[in-house]
């Protein structure tokens, strides 16, 4: 399978060379990799330029500097890169963050999964921060992190690409819409990539990030029961207690202030149905396990 990659990069001078070195070492190279410098002012462009002559499949595109920082800007940058690849003949299109590093067979692995399963529309792996990744009780492997998402071309076109949402959730919206349209989406936990800039703390402290996560789950249509359960679960993680409280407060505040929801009612219904199914699995699994153990013990006695 042939693939193309697009990397929106805004002031990533501290990390982008790690990503470039990981890419040029890949056992399966892309047809084209477009790095879009989204108005960077920190030397990101100069770092990328060092590699352009030796690796002609890398292309640098620069967009004008923006004063306002928001997630919709990432979509604008991605679309600037998409203009450079949309007329090429390829099978897979990927979004790759500019602060990742990964093993040399990373893309070969993901491509093999897409080859094996024609119904697989989006593929990725967990990202690791400080040696840890998501707890998959509350982050199903059906979700694919925006750090690196590979879309089958037909799937990407059917969902209409990324939707610009200023508050965030563009990666989630794309993956969930793909499932709503009948595609399978999967995070393969056999591989990981390393994320060098902490998610959600680019312009916020850790506590404010939790509050904003709560707001985001509301405006993306998250079910109240799911969010309550997630907030309680978060209380056992750092920052202890307060992190879960702020996660819940963000959701409640968004509800009280009637924060506008940028997703369709159809997508919201689909999302809530998935959450309730997942919540049902979480709470029934311990009881099922106890029941199975009891039945096993009874059989042994007999």
Quick one: pLDDT at residue 284? 75
Q: pLDDT tens for residues 134-154?
A: 666 556 899 999 999 999 999
pLDDT at residue 92 in the model:
98
Q: Is residue 236 classed as helix, strand or coil in its secondary structure?
A: coil
Say whether pLDDT at 126 is over 80.
yes
At 76, is the secondary structure helix, strand, or coil?
helix
Alpha-helical segments (H) within 140-237 = 153-158, 170-180, 206-219, 224-234
**pLDDT on residue 166:** 85
* Contact between 127 and 39 (Cβ < 8 Å): no
* Reported pTM: 0.86
The mean pLDDT value of the chain amounts to: 90
Distance of CA 270 to the CA centre of its chain: 18
DSSP H or E segment with residue 70: none
For 268-279, write each residue's pLDDT tens digit: 999 999 999 988
Pairing status of strand 148-152 against strand 92-96: antiparallel
Three-state DSSP class for 141? coil
Residues 15-59 have pLDDT tens digits of 999 999 999 999 999 999 999 999 999 999 999 999 999 999 999
């Amino acid at each position: 399978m042939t693939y193309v990659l697009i990397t929106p990069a805004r002031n990533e001078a501290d990390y982008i060379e790690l990503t470039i070195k990981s890419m040029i070492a890949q056992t399966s190279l892309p047809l084209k990799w477009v790095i879009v410098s989204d108005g960077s002012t920190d030397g990101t462009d100069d770092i990328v330029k060092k590699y352009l002559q030796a690796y002609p499949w890398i292309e640098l595109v620069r967009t004008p500097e923006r004063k306002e920082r928001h997630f919709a800007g990432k979509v604008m940058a991605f679309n600037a890169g998409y203009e450079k690849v949309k007329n090429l003949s390829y099978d897979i299109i990927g979004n790759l963050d500019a602060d990742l590093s990964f093993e040399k067979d990373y893309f070969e692995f993901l491509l093999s999964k897409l080859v094996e399963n024609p119904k697989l529309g989006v593929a990725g792996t967990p990202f690791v921060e400080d040696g840890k990744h998501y707890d998959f009780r509350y982050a199903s492997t059906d979700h694919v992190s925006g750090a690196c998402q590979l879309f089958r071309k037909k799937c990407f076109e059917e969902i209409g690409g990324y939707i610009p949402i200023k508050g965030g959730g563009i990666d989630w919206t794309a993956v969930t819409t793909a499932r709503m349209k009948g595609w399978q989406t999967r995070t393969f936990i056999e591989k990981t990539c390393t994320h060098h800039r902490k998610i959600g703390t680019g312009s916020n402290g850790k506590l404010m990030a939790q509050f904003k996560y709560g707001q985001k789950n509301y405006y993306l249509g998250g079910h109240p029961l799911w969010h309550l359960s997630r907030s309680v679960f978060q209380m056992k993680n750092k920052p202890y207690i307060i992190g879960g409280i702020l996660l819940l407060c963000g959701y409640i505040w968004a509800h009280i202030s009637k924060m506008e929801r940028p997703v369709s009612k159809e997508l919201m219904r689909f999302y809530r149905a998935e959450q309730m199914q997942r919540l049902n699995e979480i709470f029934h699994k311990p009881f099922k396990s106890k029941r199975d153990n009891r039945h096993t013990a009874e059989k042994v006695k007999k």
